[in-house]
Structure 1
Amino acid sequence: MSAHPPRAWIRLPSGAALDLINPAPDAWTDEDLALRLARTYRWGGESRWAWPLSVAQHSLLVLALRRAEAPQPLSLAEQRAELLHDAEEAFLGFDCISPLKRVLGEPFRAVGERLMAAITQRYRLPDWTPESHRLHKHADRVAAASEAVHCTGWSEHEVRALLGITEPVLAADPLQSRYGGSAWEPWPADRAAERFLAELRSINYD
């Protein structure tokens, strides 16, 4: 057996390298994170539109939903937690659905958790409380139900019966009022990266 610990290096858009097995919190730039999330697609890359839906756009949607539903304004740290809740997927390179995560097992879970720990340290993310996690998961699943129908092409019946999501499917796109464009249309990667990066920079200071 090798005496060296396992490593799995990836090249980032900035030219930096990140070890997926032992990620350092300073190994990437904010631009790296934004662009890789914009190039990481939800729903297996399936789309009714010209572009698949990126994790960057999904993250902005979840943040918008949490802001709209919060009984009082979210702190900057709480907003970062919402925006970055799937940030490890930028480096894993795909959005793995929960049933597949269970099949892939402990090694995959451990890699994802180490990446998320580095992200948590880098961006000073707060721990979820039972209530904040409940509210987050509700927003995340509302986003998922709405994306499944409007972006991917599942029917509302299939969302309930096959995907097991019981949260409502929204008619109005919460991002349209801010960014314009057609409701629920996935953005090109460069546009998704630009909008994600601008949001991250606006909330990355306490």
Structure 2
Amino acid sequence: MSGRAAAPARAWIRLPSGRRLDLLAPTPLDWTDEDLAIGLSRTFRWGGHSIWPGAPLSVAQHSLAVMALRRRARPAPGPGELLRELLHDAEEGLVNFDCISPLKPFLGPGFLALQDRLAAVVAQRYGLRAWEVEAHKRHKRLDVAMAAAEAVHVAGWSRAEVRDTLGIRAAVMEADPLVAEHGGTPWQPWPPEQAAARFLAALRRLLPPEAGALSRPAGPTTNPA
């Protein structure tokens, strides 16, 4: 035995900006807004499967769709609630993995703790309030409704399968909530570059000035060697 202390656990990733993030010990200044947008645009829902040619559906596009549904719902949301909707899956863009829900229990408590840790630094970074009970219920209804629609229009499940196989009870909406603002073919997944640009634009519109100053620090890296 050498007597040397074991090195601390770490899981570094290099981000597009050149910054690096230790997934096991993240801080709120470890990524840029662009890093987050790119990460979410390259993280795919439904296990990366799609009936559309080209790119699968990104978490960035899904997040914008859920936010669009909330914008139309009542009571009318303020910018802070819309920002919380936009960033409800933001930690997935940092770890670059959207695990389908039935699989999560098999990944164990360590993975759930990792998700919670990343979600906490996202909330700190962008000044997100904890979900109030009724607000979270509204969010879950919209998120599940979006999942039901994606299952049919993107992943190729039948409506009966959505109900009987996937266990999703929400009605399958026909109208793509993103078409009114962005145009294009309903339900078609966007290319990652387009999804990233649209997510980033929405994020910057919603950020309060103090969060904007925090979210775009000047230096190329923040983690020590």
Q: Which residue of 1 aligns with 2:165?
A: 162
Displacement of 1:86 in angstroms is: 0.4
Which amino acid is 2:30 matched to? A
Structure 2: distance between partners of 1:48 and 1:126: 37
Structure 1: distance between partners of 2:181 and 2:82: 17
Q: Is the 8 A contact 2:68 2:178 kept in 1?
A: yes
Structure 1: distance between partners of 2:184 and 2:5: 54
Number of equivalent positions: 205
1:35 pairs with 2:2: no
C-alpha deviations, 1:44-65, integer Å up to 9, x for none? 1111112200000000000011
Per the normalisation by structure 1, the TM-score is: 0.97
| Greater Cα offset, 54-63 or 1-10 | 1-10
- Aligned-residue CA RMSD (Å): 1.1
Any gaps of 5 or more consecutive residues in structure 1?
none
Q: Which residue of 2 aligns with 1:15?
A: 18
1:75 pairs with 2:89: no
Per the normalisation by structure 2, the TM-score is: 0.89
1:183 pairs with 2:186: yes
Structure 2: distance between partners of 1:153 and 1:31: 31
Which amino acid is 1:57 matched to? Q
Q: Is the 8 A contact 2:47 2:100 kept in 1?
A: no
Q: Which residue of 1 aligns with 2:151?
A: 148
| Greater Cα offset, 31-40 or 4-13 | 4-13
Displacement of 1:70 in angstroms is: 2.3
Displacement of 1:162 in angstroms is: 1.1
C-alpha deviations, 1:161-180, integer Å up to 9, x for none? 11111011111111011101
Structure 2: distance between partners of 1:45 and 1:56: 13
1:204 pairs with 2:202: no
Moved >2 Å (runs of 4+): 1-5
Q: Which residue of 2 aligns with 1:61?
A: 65
Q: Secondary structure at the match of 2:208?
A: coil
Q: Which residue of 2 aligns with 1:49?
A: 52
Any gaps of 5 or more consecutive residues in structure 2?
210-225
Which amino acid is 1:120 matched to? A
C-alpha deviations, 1:56-109, integer Å up to 9, x for none? 00000000111111222x122111110000000012211112221111110000
Structure 2: distance between partners of 1:33 and 1:184: 23
Q: Secondary structure at the match of 1:152?
A: coil
C-alpha deviations, 1:167-196, integer Å up to 9, x for none? 111111110111010000000000000000
Displacement of 1:2 in angstroms is: 4.6
Displacement of 1:20 in angstroms is: 0.1
Q: Secondary structure at the match of 2:154?
A: helix
Larger Rg: 2
